[in-house]
Structure 1
Amino acid sequence: MERTFVKDWRGVHKAALALILRCIADHGSPPSPAELQVATAAPSAETVQHMLQEMESRGLIFRDPGSGSILAAYPLSAVPTPHRVRLADGRQVQAMCAVDALGVALVFGQDTHISSRCRHCRADIEVSVVGERIGAYSPASAVVWYTPAAVHCAVAAEGQCPYINFFCSREHVKDWKRDLSAPRGQILPLERALDRARAVFNPMKGLGGGPS
């Protein structure tokens, strides 16, 4: 996941993204444009819309092409996904992909427990991130299939994220790839998948705020 969307962001983007993440985590939905205007001290509603367009172009957020509603603010999704994450403070969120699910612990500065399913057989997969390391997980053979952004022409939410999933074993990744025209990628042990999450989300550490 080679997104570098936070490399040169401005303070206004940071304030806006922090509010969006907190609202999704607290309420399951993003803030209103009016709330964003207050949080960023934007002079007008038009300025807020321009800011959202710029954030989307950088890959910080993903919006519905028709309504303009915010559907995701990385690493969180405002709509249901297969990757449910419970924060240590009890809040529950949805992540865009397996690597994003692992990155939630970094962005919110607290331990997490991930509940997902094998992309091939739909068996339950449970993974804990404790102290920014992989904790307990099951099954013991669980891995992540990772496909790089360079493989896709679409934005990450549509082209990359749907393919970055948990699998209960390497064998099930291979079976899935045989059954489907899957894009190029690699199998990652969970700790290496967390390393990918660190590469993306370390610049955002604590942005979602600590335990509520």
Structure 2
Amino acid sequence: MELVEVADEERAARLGMTGSPTVLIDGVDPFAVPDARVSVSCRLYRGLDGTVDGAPSVDELRSALQAAESRDCEAECSPVDTVGRGGRGRLAPVDGGLRAVQQAVLRHFAATGSTPDPADLEPRAAAHGRAATDVLADLAAEDFLALDDHGRIRAAYPFSAVPTAHRVRLADGIEVWAMCAIDALGMPDMLRTDAVITSADPVTGETVTVTSTGGRLTWRPSSAVVYLGQRSCTGPAADIACGALNFFTSRRTAQEWADQHPDFTGQTIPQDRAEVLGRSVFGSLLADSEPA
């Protein structure tokens, strides 16, 4: 643990400090809020219960550290690391307008439930001296999103442009499709909103529902789990993993599905680990974003 004193806004900008204290874990602010400005002023933190304090709570710090640990483990230990791009994360780099266009795509999905046309993205790309189609191609090449044969967006993790097994209803009534179970679990934290996730056990067809309220997730049935799997080949997550990242009503049905699909390798994980993985992969995608 390193304590860093920041005396001016230039250094605050370089470190990503948006008020004191700012906690960085592996260089990432796990408590970042949308549109927060660089600042050397005091910072306030709002807990899940609505209370405001001058620092994150012990429980919140512990949760953030566990999320970072899970992210590292997924990158180094797990056979399934495609969700987080092999530990590299889903947040596109700033260079070349990649992050600006990525975040514009995500906001459009969240606001409309559908994919944007390239023309809708031209202002973002033009601000970086590029065409939207070129930026989208670069994003697809690095698996920040996936394009169809006509260059249209078919997936912008965590969103899908076509129906999937995972439906997410946001607090404002917008309904979106998630690419997989982990993507669905990451949406409420990424968008800082309540949501209801509805999916179905691929073996029994029984409904699995996860309700996010104030950052807390409630699973029905209580025995539900997530299976993380992927094919042994290489390629974008949309093709080699998303079809094997599903909700199941129990470990028994998850194992039954795995036995029926030997072309996938993976593991069953409990609810708390699935939640941490969803938050760690997607929670920060819009935390440091340009104005819409």
Which of the five TM-score ranges fits, normalised by the shorter chain? 0.7 to 0.9
Q: Is the 8 A contact 2:147 2:155 kept in 1?
A: yes
Correspondence for 1:77 among 145, 160, 166: 160
Corresponding residue for residue 143 of structure 1: 225
Return the index of the structure with the highest Cα Rg. 2
Corresponding residue for residue 186 of structure 2: 103
* Paired residues for 1:114-133 under 5 Å: 114-133=197-216
Secondary structure, in 3 states, of the residue corresponding to 2:234? coil
Does 1:201 find its partner at 2:285?
no
Does 1:55 find its partner at 2:139?
yes
Corresponding residue for residue 165 of structure 1: 246
Q: Which runs of 5+ in 1 are unaligned?
A: none
Q: Name the aligned partner's letter for residue 133 of structure 1.
A: R
Q: 1:53 to 1:179 in 2, by over 3 A?
A: same
Secondary structure, in 3 states, of the residue corresponding to 1:185? strand
Q: Is the 8 A contact 1:5 1:60 kept in 2?
A: no
Give the Cα–Cα distance (whole angstroms) in 2 for the partners of residues 207 and 126 of structure 1.
30
* Cα-to-partner distance string for 1:157-204 (whole Å, 9 max, x where unaligned): 010111000000001012112222252211111111011112211331
Give the Cα–Cα distance (whole angstroms) in 2 for the partners of residues 167 and 86 of structure 1.
19
Q: Name the aligned partner's letter for residue 172 of structure 1.
A: T
With 7-16 and 120-129 compared, the bigger mean Cα shift is at 7-16
Q: Is the 8 A contact 2:226 2:271 kept in 1?
A: yes
Corresponding residue for residue 101 of structure 2: 16
Q: Is the 8 A contact 1:105 1:111 kept in 2?
A: yes
Secondary structure, in 3 states, of the residue corresponding to 1:37? helix
Q: Specify which structure has the higher proportion of helix.
A: 1
Q: Which runs of 5+ in 2 are unaligned?
A: 1-82
Corresponding residue for residue 30 of structure 1: 115
Q: 1:31 to 1:106 in 2, by over 3 A?
A: same
Give the Cα–Cα distance (whole angstroms) in 2 for the partners of residues 116 and 166 of structure 1.
7
Q: Is the 8 A contact 1:106 1:206 kept in 2?
A: no
Deviation at 1:42, TM superposition (A): 4.7
Give the Cα–Cα distance (whole angstroms) in 2 for the partners of residues 182 and 143 of structure 1.
21
Q: Is the 8 A contact 2:201 2:208 kept in 1?
A: yes
With 181-190 and 74-83 compared, the bigger mean Cα shift is at 181-190
Corresponding residue for residue 258 of structure 2: 177
* Cα-to-partner distance string for 1:72-92 (whole Å, 9 max, x where unaligned): 111001110110001112211
Give the Cα–Cα distance (whole angstroms) in 1 for the partners of residues 90 and 164 of structure 2.
24
Deviation at 1:152, TM superposition (A): 3.9
Q: Taking CA–CA contacts closer than 8 Å with sequence separation of 6 or more, which of the two structures ends up with the larger relative contact order? A: 1
> How many residues are treated as equivalent by the alignment?
205
Give the Cα–Cα distance (whole angstroms) in 2 for the partners of residues 120 and 173 of structure 1.
8
Q: Is the 8 A contact 1:74 1:100 kept in 2?
A: yes
Q: Is the 8 A contact 1:22 1:208 kept in 2?
A: no
Residue identity over aligned pairs, in percent, reads 35
Q: CA RMSD in A?
A: 2.3
Give the Cα–Cα distance (whole angstroms) in 2 for the partners of residues 199 and 182 of structure 1.
27
